[in-house]
Amino acid sequence: MVSVENFRVLEQSQVSPPNGSAPPAFIPLSFFDIVMSTAGPIRRIFFYDFPHPTAVVVDSVLPRLKSSLSLALQRFYPLAGNLMCSSSPDDRSGIGCAYGDSVSFVVAECVGVDFRELSGTRAHSVAELQLLVPRLVWSGAAKPLLAVQVTVFPNHGFAVGASMPHTACDGSSYVHFMNAWASASRTGQLAEPAPSFDRTAVPNPLQLRSVNIFPGFDRCGTDESPTLASDFVSATFCLTQDQLQRLKRSVTAKFDQRHGSFHCSTAVVTYAYAWICLVKTFGYAGDKIAHLIFLADYRARLQPPLPTSYFGNCIVPCFVEVKVSDLVGEDGIVVAAEAIGKAIQGLRDGAALEGVHGWGGRWQFAATQQAMTVAGSSRFRVYDADFGWGTPVKVEMVIQRAGALSLAESRSGDGVEIGLSFDRTEMDLFERHFSDGLKLLSE
Ligand SMILES: CC(C)(COP(=O)(O)OP(=O)(O)OC[C@H]1O[C@@H](n2cnc3c(N)ncnc32)[C@H](O)[C@@H]1OP(=O)(O)O)[C@@H](O)C(=O)NCCC(=O)NCCSC(=O)CC(=O)O
């Protein structure tokens, strides 16, 4: 078990882009950056098997991780910069980059810990995971956008934790950076496509300029991890390709074509199935409306589209509401999939931005209703992040709220992985609903 007693910081340093390679710049925040700025930091932990003593990690792994991080920052230089936002809402907020910018790089050691358990799929403490991700500390003008922590588990492995405030970028850009850093470490070269920071084609339907429209914004970047009960745990649930196909068939077999059609994708059935299990776990009354919020990548959906290498936020929220009795009923998966599919269809031809005035209110209301939210994507390729010592044995998003779900491709390549956090009793319930539903599918 990771506790403060068996966890110690070995080194705290700063990593900069190579000398003079990142010239001073100011990159204005886009509409999407400002909208997402209160969403809290993105925090992932990449676990690697590495059965060697700490000294070997320090001598051979760390120098390469640092030099490749420096190389990656040459291209992703805004991540070494600071958020600039004056108290006047008229001043444009942006990312300021200056010579000498750097990223905090912490090295820690964890002893007497079951590395397998912490990097496994079965329930493990979220408070322990929190120790493996670095804190982003905002103080005055210093508002860093990336912090890195490498934690060594002697003779077992190491974990690379990276935190970025959502103001800097969305999940697609986060993983773009991590994969660029990993491939630079593995090959010594920058092989991933260069990021694009060009904001000129990004729409601004609400004419937003500053993050200071949100009271208390400063606290959103500073990563104050809540103190969690020791029985608040995180676990990973997998849906194999075969199970996904069965779920898709169970939807399409019953879907009433008279109501129109939609593409019953992997994302649709995964969200639908997890949502039903979650609603059953919380045991809501049948007449309550259940809420789901998921995010859609808007790069390819904009007219004209932005390149996939666009770095920043380009995501829009999708809101889905279904009555609990319909979700937990016999055809719940059909009802949920149809409602989610319709929300995805509604993203076509730039239509999502038409509802932009309602986003804030809908988001706030759904949050009061314990909405299920989805982070990550099964298309991000988080398991490609090989720094030169093999692919991750586990990639975990740190989730501090019951009802928040994270998604990734499965490590084996067969299907998807769903990460969730709950109190242990709720986790047991969720696990039972999840496996019972799949048993029914195979009958
Ligand atoms: C809105 C969506 C979830 C809807 O997904 P869907 O799969 O249902 O719909 P779609 O139109 O995109 O794709 C439909 C079908 O097209 C195919 N398809 C489309 N694009 C593909 C791609 N890039 N790779 C592989 N397949 C693809 C698939 O066959 C899929 O069906 P099939 O699946 O049956 O094969 C998705 O489009 C999307 O935007 N995903 C990214 C969401 C995202 O960025 N989340 C992170 C937010 S930030 C965040 O949360 C923080 C963080 O992550 O760090």
Task: Write the pLDDT tens digit of every residue in 174-193.
Answer: 999 999 999 999 999 998 89
pLDDT score for 212: 81
When the pLDDT of each residue in the chain is averaged and rounded to a whole number, the result is 93
The residue count of the chain comes to 443
Instruction: Answer yes or no: same fold for 4-219 and 233-440.
Output: yes
Ligand 1 site, CB within 6 A = 42, 170-172, 174, 263, 265-268, 295-297, 315, 344, 375-377, 379
* CA 222 to ligand 1 center in whole angstroms: 30
291 is catalytic: no
> ipTM score here?
0.93
DSSP classification of residue 138? -
Kindly tell me if the per-residue pLDDT of 257 is higher than 70: no
Domain 233-440, CATH class in plain words: alpha beta
Residue predicted with more confidence, 19 or 27: 27
* CA 180 to ligand 1 center in whole angstroms: 21
Which among 124, 156, 166, 176 is annotated as catalytic? Answer: 166
Task: Write the pLDDT tens digit of every residue in 47-56.
Answer: 999 999 999 9
Which among 326, 384, 386, 428 is annotated as catalytic? Answer: 386
Phi, psi of 41 (to 5 degrees): -70, 155
Domain limits, the chain? 4-219, 233-440
Are the C-beta atoms of residues 232 and 126 closer than 8 Å to each other?
Answer: yes
Q: Which of 174, 377, 382, 416 to mutate to test the pocket of ligand 1 (most atoms within 8 A of CB)?
A: 377
SS3 237: strand
Question: What is the Cα–Cα distance from 75 to 64, expressed in whole angstroms?
Answer: 17
Name the CATH superfamily, with its identifier, for domain 4-219: Chloramphenicol acetyltransferase-like domain (3.30.559.10)
386 is catalytic: yes
Which residue minimizes the CA distance to atom 21 of ligand 1? Answer: 379
Task: Write the pLDDT tens digit of every residue in 280-331.
Answer: 999 999 999 999 999 999 999 998 999 999 999 999 999 999 999 999 999 9
Spell out the long-range contacts of 326-333 with Cβ–Cβ below 8 A and sequence spacing 24 or more: 327/275, 327/276, 327/279, 327/290, 328/276, 328/279, 328/280, 328/286, 331/254, 332/276, 333/247, 333/250, 333/251, 333/269, 333/272, 333/273, 333/276
* CA 50 to ligand 1 center in whole angstroms: 33
Task: Please give the model's pTM, rounded to 2 decimal places.
Answer: 0.96
Among positive and negative, which fits the CA dihedral 162, 167, 168, 170? positive
Among positive and negative, which fits the CA dihedral 169, 164, 44, 271? negative
pLDDT average, residue stretch 263-273: 96
* CA 267 to ligand 1 center in whole angstroms: 7
